[in-house]
Structures are given as C-alpha cells and as structure tokens.
Amino acid sequence: MDIIDILKKVNAVITDDHFIYTSGKHGEVYINKDALYPHTAEVSQVGNMFAEKYKDQDIVVVVGPALGGIILSTWVAYHLSQLSGKEVLGVYTEKDANKNQIFTRNYDKLVAGKNVLVIEDLTTTGGSVRKVVDTVKQAGGTVVSVCVMVNRNPQEVNAEMMGAPFDALGVLPSAAYEEVECPFCKEGRPVNTNVGHGKKYMAEKEKN
C-alpha cells in the first residue's frame, strides 16, 4: 500500500472542490492530513515508511514543524529507533510571530552537532519546511535529508529549493493558483469552508 492509498483509506484525499491552501493559493485537490492523525495504526505505518527510507543513514534526531510535524516526528523517530537499535529523538519547531519556524523548549540543544532528518506532511510551496531546514542549520545541526509525506508541487519543491537532499513518500500534483488567476473563482465554484483555510478566507472577504 503506498502513501496515497493510505490517505484515501482514511478519506484524507478530496478532489473536484475549491480549496484555500495554507499558502493562500487556491486549488481543487486537498489532502486533509487531519483525517489521518486520529488513525494511529495508519500514522504508525506512515512513520515506518519514512523510517525504512532512512534506516541506513545515521539519523540522530527527527524534526518536523508543528502541528502535524509533532505527530510525524515522534512516529518516525520511534520506528527509526526500532530499526537502528539506538534511540532516535523526535522534536519539533513552532511558528513565531513572524511565521518563522523556531526551536523552543531547548530543542535546539538536542539538534546541535547532530545528524537530522527534517520531515513534513504536505508541501505546496515548501516554505514552512525550508524554514525548518534553516533553523536546524542555525542550531548547528546537519540536515542529512528532507522528506515529506506528499509533495504537491514537484516542479518547484526540490533539493535545490530546500538547500538539502529532498524526497517524498508520494507525489500528488495539484495546481495552485493565485486568487486573481483562480479558474474556480471565475466559474463561481463555492469555497470549501470545512477544511483548509476557506473559512478564514471567507471571513476576510466578508470584512472587506
């Protein structure tokens, strides 16, 4: 079973709708990662998929951005620990007021001088996970690789953009449009306010 099959199994892949992504762009394919996380057996399976990919690298710490990255980093670190026979730590970054991904809770000390695997659930622009890479480097960690659960934009999100080796468990390309270019806005397709940032987007629209 591949990653897209697992996500479909838990009804996390939604198509033919009108979504607002974290980046503010619009699209018609959405991966509702929040539908995955309640299913611990599937989350463990995903964590093991990451771990199998990197079991031969000397990873000491797994880092992901909050919130989804907290769950994933824990499971990936757990499975890497099982496979390698040594403790692999799972930590996370958090957003600050400027939307940078930073270490709090003294986690920077756990990363300094260590080989790090940076993970993320989804990437559309790659912006959040790139900030994690920069923060790990600033803390003195060595980014061995970056891996995401699903890359939605393989044309633009790659090793060059990340500044580190990059891979994904799966790829599900989905075009993302700026609001002014959005074909779904032009055709009057309603914005989905149940998942993604549609609710916030519509609230801002009503204010203006």
Q: What are the structural domains, with CATH classification, of the chain?
A: 3-207 (3.40.50.2020)
Average pLDDT over residues 9-15: 93
pLDDT of residue 108: 97
- How does pLDDT run across 86-144, given as a tens digit for each residue? 999 999 999 999 989 999 999 999 999 999 999 999 988 899 999 999 999 999 999 99
pTM of the model as a whole: 0.88
**Mean pLDDT, all residues of the chain:** 95
pLDDT of residue 205: 84
**What contacts 106, CB < 8 A, 6 or more positions away?**
none
The answer on pLDDT for 208 being more than 80 is: no
The per-residue b/e assignment along 8-40, b for 16 or more CB within 10 angstroms, e otherwise, is eebebbbeebbbbbebebbbbbbbbbebbbeee
Please give the share of the chain, as a percent, with pLDDT higher than 70.
Answer: 100
Average pLDDT over residues 15-38: 92
Give the residue, 208 or 52, on which the prediction is more confident.
52
Report CA dihedral (133, 136, 140, 146) to the nearest 10 degrees.
-50
- Give the model's confidence band at 207: pLDDT under 50 very low, under 70 low, under 90 confident, else very high: confident
